[in-house]
Structure 1
Amino acid sequence: MEIKFLSSSLLLAITAFPLFANAQCEPKHWMWHTYKKSFVTDEGRVVDTANKRISHSEGQGYGMLLAVHYDDKATFNKLWVWTQNNLQRDVDELFSWKWQPSTPHVPDKNNASDGDILVAWALMRAEKQWRNEGYGRSARNIIRTLQRSHIQRLGGETILLPGAHGFTFKERTVVNPGYWVYPAFDAFSQYDKSWERLSNSGLSILDKNLYGDAKLTPDWLEYSREKWQPADSFAPQFSYSNYRIPLYMVWGEKQHPLNRNYQNWLGRDNVAWVDVISGQKATYQPPPGANAIAQLVELADGTRSMKQGISVSPDGKDYYSDSLVLLSHMAFTERVCK
């Protein structure tokens, strides 16, 4: 009898943890409902509540990715239709980066390549989930256009231009390392190996651009005088844009020292940004989304218990922060809990 009792207890202990782990990995639909209620209009526009209620191609991409993840086809279709009707450029398959409530609604027809990437990746995932070839065709058109016009070889590396205009000059080229959406590049590489080269170069460029005590990279870099360095036209800050680097690297299963550097810096300083050259720091705290990414890094490298998961939740106040929160949970579900 004693042996049977011990065996039953052991069996219960063995089976209980997987059940708990599976529960941790399940999408939390209430988070998506909070996000939709706070930032998605009935027409399908994702609103940047901290920036004069404008919308971005990036935000539309975030919303579309999340809609697929939460199996919300109706919202996905609204987001995709609004994006096409309001941001689609006349000259190619890409999207204007900004829409504003006042007229002209699209004051700048330039694109942002990260927004285009997010939209294309969401469409690829939607085709797989809902078996809609129309989504897939649109995704491939966007990917091929980006491949032709925004991927270049430079200084022995493969780079991604942040937009069609304004980033290439006679003696320098500017990039944003936060635009390297590694898991999307992995998906796109089925069409062309240039996306795989782009991933590898993203990590290589980061290797050359870790600065200061925190060993972080500025939001904007340039290649000039035959080397990579902080871009002259921007403050050399690791800030809001680059929070996404560790998010995308964990999501894309990439290993890099910056992931741990980010978590260490945030845990030590708890500020929104740092000048990686001077060491000057913000006098205010980072948004909750930054902490969600730090917890994702800890979960991925095993320094945070799986039982804890990501404790940060959306609060419905800040579009960008809540986007990072939900994307961190999504990456946790797909990569850490897989």
Structure 2
Amino acid sequence: MLAAVLPAPARGQTGGAQTAGAELDAPSWHGFAGRFLGADGRVTDTGNGGISHSEGQGYGLVLATAARDRGAVDRLWGWTKRNLMVRPDGLSAWKWESGKGVTDPNNATDGDILIAWGLLRAAELWKDADLRGAALALLQAIRQHTLVRQAGMTLPLPGVTGFRRGGAVIVNPSYLIMPAFQAFAAAEPSGGWDGVIGSALVFLAKARIGQGQLPPDWALLAEDGSLTLPDGFRKQFGYDAIRVPLYLAWAGYRDPWYFRPYGAFAAPFGNGPIPATVSLPGGTTAQVPASVGMLAVLRLATRIAESGNAIVVPPLGADEDYYSTVLFLLTRLAERSLGLSP
């Protein structure tokens, strides 16, 4: 069994015994909050220059709700409202820097999706009409400003600005957060989210590049449905696309066809380090090893596919950065939802 080796809470001042029914164990949550969540409700990305962003606030809300920490939810949402919900269209600005405030007002749609999902989870758990209203308002903004119809599919643009190339659109496969879309469909039965779910599954079936059939971090989807790798973006499977199998698994999809490429990717490395990225379509791997969080996702994918070598995931150390820690904890939540042991 994997154990989270993390310090006691400090920055976020989150403590106390684990709440009954929590999906996330108290030591793991307290470790996350103590290292990355400030007392004001701001999540710091320690692997990205100490910035804060909508993604981090959304992940924080999801994890706080899983830990049944209502106080943390209120702090997270309070900071997000004050600092990121500054756009006139109801979406959040994605990037905030200490001493500067918002330094990029464009939205990041995955951040908006995660914030809305976290708010919706909290609203349902604590029967809070205000949180539900905020979630539904954000869902409306996501639908109105980011969803596009392309090649018969309804998919989210990664952001309102900068992701159209003539008649083609840029899509980030890891922004297709399937369990969030399922929650949105339940909360808004007439919101068209079932169509987004179906479109996402079609797109993910197409977004398999090169001999390894791995999804890219970024893809260019033409009007005729053809898919290529866009210039100006990383042409690789890596830090973004690692979330694709995590979100599919968490949403309950168990078709091995979606998961086998990850075991095949990891298998040649045996017990040695698995690289964090692989270039597409060529297949050249980076020398940077996959983080503990990335290994946790790869292990989950190979378990579902029942193929590939068993992937060893080290304990989550106290020096692990924000993103790796998030991936590790989200994978734990996905495993719990699937009835899999850590």
TM-score (norm. length: structure 1)? 0.86
> 1:315, CA displacement in angstroms?
3.2
Secondary structure at the aligned position of 2:155 is classed as strand
Q: After superposition, give the CA deviation of every residue in 1:29-81 in whole Å (9 maximum; x if it has no partner).
A: 11111111111111111101111100110000101100000011111111110
Which residue of 1 is the match for residue 154 of structure 2? 158
Q: How big is the shift at 1:159?
A: 1.4
Which structure has the larger Rg?
1
Structure 1 pair 67/260, CA: closer, same or farther in 2 (3 Å)? Answer: same
2:284 is aligned, of 258, 280, 287, to: 280
Secondary structure in structure 2 of the residue aligned to 1:282: coil
Measure the CA separation in 2 of the matches of 1:286 and 1:248: 18
Please tell me the residue identity of whatever aligns with 2:214. L
SS in 2 for 1:240: coil
Question: What pairs with 1:1-338 in structure 2 (closer than 5 Å)?
Answer: 27-103=24-100, 105-190=101-186, 191=188, 192=190, 194-224=192-222, 226=224, 227-254=226-253, 255=255, 257-269=257-269, 270-301=274-305, 312-313=315-316, 315-337=318-340
Shift of 1:282: 0.2
Measure the CA separation in 1 of the matches of 2:86 and 2:214: 35
What is the alpha-carbon distance in structure 2 between the residues aligned to residue 26 and residue 207 of structure 1? 30
CA apart distance, 1:252: 0.7
- What is the number of equivalent residue pairs in this alignment? 310
Render the CA deviation track for 1:149-178: whole Å, top value 9, x for unaligned. Answer: 111211111111111111123232111000
Contact 2:259 2:302 in 1 (8 A): no
> What value does the CA root-mean-square deviation take over the aligned residues?
2.2
Structure 1 spans left out of the alignment, 5+ residues: 1-24
Which blocks of at least 5 consecutive residues in structure 2 are unaligned? 1-21
SS of the aligned residue for 2:231 comes to: coil
Higher helix content, 1 or 2: 1
Identity of matched residues, % = 34
Q: How far does residue 335 in structure 1 lie from its aligned partner after superposition?
A: 2.6
Offset at 1:120?
0.5
TM-score (norm 2): 0.85
Task: Quote the Cα distance in structure 2 between the aligned partners of 1:333 and 1:155.
Answer: 36
Letter of the structure 1 residue corresponding to residue 196 of structure 2: L
Shift of 1:128: 1.1
